[in-house]
Chains A and B, each alone.
Chain A
Amino acid sequence: MEIRQVVGSLVCTQRNPGLGHWDLRVLQDLKGRQYVATDPVDARPGDWVFVVSGSAARYAMGDASILTDLTIGGVIDHWEWEQAAAVQPDATLSAKAA
Chain B
Amino acid sequence: MKICQVERPLVSTNRIPGFEHKHLLVVRDGSALQVAVDAVGCVPGDWVICVGSSAAREAAGSKEYPSDLTIVGIIDRWPPEPDATDVGSRDSG
Contacts and interface: CB of A to CB of B under 8 A. Distances in A.
Interface string B28-47: 00000111100000000000
A2 B35 CA distance: 6
Contacts of B10: 50, 76
B68 A54 contact: yes
How many A residues touch the partner, as a band?
20 to 34
Contacts of B17: 62
B18 interface: yes
Nearest to A60: B66
Interface in B18-61: 18-19, 24, 26, 33-36, 52-54, 56-57
Interface of B: 10-19, 24, 26, 33-36, 52-54, 56-57, 64-69
